[in-house]
Structure 1
């Protein structure tokens, strides 16, 4: 807390920076990016659209404007292919690190930027820590999703513990946390469980249930997420699993305590979903996981 009374020059300079970035709670239209603030949110003024979309607001310690990195632009399709494959390999290892690798049942795919009707997929009967051949069940699901959604470049499927547990309820998430709002009007439930997916017709039905959303809860089965990048799709999967966990805890606490859970109102949900659920935010949120797995493995999977 900085006093508004007398102080040393350093404190006064810091106070000047703070007063130049005053916040207000009144909803307004962000002129350069056309992004509106949530009705009850506080938003710093004079931020560029990239920072505003990522929630990166304010100045660095030396007074420079913060600049949050975003998905790189590629000079050639081959350069992009290498990037996608490296981040796919990273996602495999991150999922294994989080305990999502259950035998041969979990898979991640990424579209090839050169042969755009092809996609890369993890192998059958190998852990997420390896990268060779594919399994038919994965192909039946991922091929139909990639065909139905040309803008989707990656899809993730996992039988995570909390995702499986919540899927057994056959219902959508309640909008009870900020993280849940990543999936506001952007997730669905596929209710036609028919065992291991070996039929491309079932892949079609899953793609239809997904619609234009970013996630589908496969009843009695697990979770599936998609994204413009493998980074985005992988982050949505980890977030969805944690959100399912939170939902299970809240539902149990509600029954045990007699307190009623509070649902976020529609107006706040719509604004916040735009802040926390965009492709750029999904990509950005994955980067700490990527950096951590590179450090843990000394980047051995990148070559």
Structure 2
């Protein structure tokens, strides 16, 4: 009889709020370092947030001006929905507060949200279009991402954040025209992986359209493929080997 194979990664269970908070913060710090590895840095732009498991109207975020490559668990700041820093002593990117506060308010199901000025994401965003289902991987976002078809400068106003949240709707991602990408998830793992996958989907479509006239996947097949690949646990699972490698190579991230 063949031996039953055990899953390589199993989602954790927590015995206390403190344990769950530490887990979320560790995932968040690693996500920043992975964003550095994928080239998602652009000066001081970009932010990932995770909702606090106890104070659910608070979220953990990166302080302004700390390079993604240097982020550690101890660098993370706690901010409430009024934009006040509760834990930490450095300023926070005002755009992060304007965007993420409204995302977390509008979507109680969202635990984490990721936004950065990645090269291919912002290049695709300039077209003001949704992604097409050109590849198996891009079907993750088929009929599951929105378009914020406006650009009014740096997002500093809460009302602009509200409009972005509205464009996101119930989707896992939104393209911000002339700006970049934003993804959400039920864990840092999921939100961060969807961002990586979406930037690569943008890259693939830019290459395909530059090379010729790409043939999209038909509607029914794209819907089927979306159902097979787009579950929250799929995003979570795909993040695990990235997390494992990063922590092995840069253990100081957990300090």
**Contact 1:111–1:119 (CA under 8 A) maintained in structure 2:** yes
CA distance in structure 1 between the aligned counterparts of 2:207 and 2:10, rounded to whole angstroms: 34
CA deviation string 1:149-198 (max 9, x = no partner): 00000000011111111110000001110111110111011111011110
Structure 2, unaligned stretches of length 5 or more?
A: 77-89
Q: Does 1:301 align with 2:253?
A: yes
Partner of residue 171, structure 1: 129
Q: Which residue of 285, 292, 303 corresponds with 2:238?
A: 285
| Superposed structure 1 runs of 4+ greater than 6 Å apart | none
Q: Does 1:76 align with 2:76?
A: no
Q: Does 1:155 align with 2:113?
A: yes
Q: Which residue of 224, 228, 235 corresponds with 1:271?
A: 224
Shift of 1:300: 1.4
Shift of 1:68: 4.1
CA distance in structure 1 between the aligned counterparts of 2:229 and 2:97, rounded to whole angstroms: 30
| TM norm structure 1 | 0.76
CA deviation string 1:76-95 (max 9, x = no partner): 11110000000000001111
Partner of residue 30, structure 1: none
Shift of 1:270: 1.4
Q: Which residue of 85, 93, 100 corresponds with 2:25?
A: 85
Q: How does 1:48-127 map to 2 (within 5 A)?
A: 63-127=3-67
CA distance in structure 1 between the aligned counterparts of 2:141 and 2:225, rounded to whole angstroms: 11
Shift of 1:65: 2.8
**Contact 1:170–1:191 (CA under 8 A) maintained in structure 2:** yes
Q: Which residue of 79, 88, 102 corresponds with 1:144?
A: 102
CA distance in structure 2 between the aligned counterparts of 1:250 and 1:301, rounded to whole angstroms: 37
Shift of 1:64: 2.4
State the superposition RMSD in angstroms: 1.3
CA distance in structure 2 between the aligned counterparts of 1:72 and 1:267, rounded to whole angstroms: 35
Q: Does 1:200 align with 2:158?
A: yes
CA distance in structure 2 between the aligned counterparts of 1:295 and 1:69, rounded to whole angstroms: 16
**Contact 2:9–2:240 (CA under 8 A) maintained in structure 1:** no
